[in-house]
Amino acid sequence: MEERRRTPVRSVSVERVREAVRVLLAEACSQLPAEVVRFLEAARFNERSEVGRRVLEQLLENARLSAETRIPLCQDTGLAVVMLEVGQDVHFTEGDLATAVDEGVRQARAENHLRASVVERPSMDRVNTSDNTPAVLHVRLVPGDRVRVIVLPKGGGAENKSALAMLEPSQGREGVVGFVTSTVERAGPSACPPLIVGVGVGGTFEYAALLAKEALLRPLGRRSPEAHLADVEREIMDRCNALGIGPMGFGGSTTVADVFVEERPAHIASLPVAVNIQCHSARSRETVI
């Protein structure tokens, strides 16, 4: 018992997590990340379609207006996806972690006039919970004594177009590239292109999906450090941008803003591929406690 007491444990109040979620969610909904703004500015010049360029201009004007007025970028202020990377030397105090996260979501919604976009009993009467809770909370243990808080308000239109396939190992690289490209093609105009495409390859059914969501958090323009994955990312991007879907699907050369592929080992029988679609309003914020 004496030994155990001496292990370094850092106490973190769940109140600090609640406060982080409250602040990050508010920022995310009205401040488009600078890297997304830079992408839209570049795309406005590179896009071949005139109507496509007009769409991109409207999105830039929208981002400017939203930052100035705090009116949300999009009326779909999302289901709050909260990812916590918790150092294994952290001990949470002063309450329940998931309750604190939901309270942060509740406060952010009320204070910033965000939309209540969550219904309970979704297969039945779909009653709105009125406060945008519960959040979807993913917690991962990592070394250390810090807590990384990532908030990703996820809109329904793009999330609806996400897909997962349990490919056969024989389908290999071409199977992965083909499935991702056809998922983007099916997503098409409704998912609000230019899209960011998160891809999880390997693991199991549920792990591939989580990898795909985590892939969305990579900064725009940053290729995978794995050469073979960077190559796959470039090929998928080229194939998607050749589809002609364009900004908001009115036709054009800018269909995807970026493609991020994460890969993990898989069962000898399996090749899971998950594709998480993110609209151009790619809102996420993070902090470290």
Nearest residue (CB) to another protein, 67 versus 289: 67
Question: Are 195 and 272 in contact, with CB atoms under 8 Å apart?
Answer: no
Nearest residue (CB) to another protein, 95 versus 178: 178
Nearest residue (CB) to another protein, 115 versus 148: 115
Nearest residue (CB) to another protein, 185 versus 231: 185
Minimum distance from CB of 100 to another protein (Å)?
Answer: 24
CA angle 54, 57, 63 (to 5 degrees): 145
Minimum distance from CB of 58 to another protein (Å)?
Answer: 5
Minimum distance from CB of 241 to another protein (Å)?
Answer: 8
Nearest residue (CB) to another protein, 30 versus 224: 30
Nearest residue (CB) to another protein, 167 versus 243: 243
User: Rule CB under 8 A: which residues touch another protein?
Assistant: 30, 48-51, 55, 58-59, 61-62, 65-66, 69-77, 113-117, 126, 128, 130, 156-157, 160, 188-192, 239, 242-246, 248-253, 279-281
Minimum distance from CB of 242 to another protein (Å)?
Answer: 4
First to last CA, the chain: 28
At 151, the amino acid letter reads V
Q: Which two tokens stand for residue 2?
A: 């004496």
Minimum distance from CB of 83 to another protein (Å)?
Answer: 23
Nearest residue (CB) to another protein, 64 versus 140: 64
Residues whose CB is less than 8 angstroms from the CB of residue 286 and which lie 6 or more positions away in sequence, other chains included:
24, 148, 149, 150, 151, 217
Minimum distance from CB of 267 to another protein (Å)?
Answer: 32
Minimum distance from CB of 259 to another protein (Å)?
Answer: 17
Measured CA to CA, the distance from residue 280 to residue 287 in angstroms comes to: 22
Minimum distance from CB of 63 to another protein (Å)?
Answer: 8
Nearest residue (CB) to another protein, 207 versus 250: 250
Residues whose CB is less than 8 angstroms from the CB of residue 138 and which lie 6 or more positions away in sequence, other chains included:
81, 82, 83, 84, 210, 213
CB atoms within 10 A of CB 160: 12
